[in-house]
Amino acid sequence: MENEEKKLSREERLAAKLRENLRRRKAQAKAIDAKAEPAPLPKGESTS
């Protein structure tokens, strides 16, 4: 009985850590994409 409770709490802990890690990775990827893509220029303007 005690072993089942420990296992469940361990699984819950791991699941929570996985969700936290996923959120952090998504936020990092979003930040990298925001830096990598320059804002589009208005029509009629060029970079050169």
Q: pLDDT, tens digit, for every residue of 1-48?
A: 578 777 789 999 999 999 999 999 999 999 988 888 766 667 766 665
Q: How far apart are CA 23 and CA 16, in angstroms?
A: 11
**pLDDT score, position 29:** 94
pTM over 0.85? The answer is no
Name the CA dihedral angle for 21, 27, 32, 36, rounded to a multiple of 10 degrees: 150
- Residue 39: the pLDDT is 64
For residue 47, the model assigns a pLDDT of: 61
Q: What is the pLDDT of residue 3?
A: 81
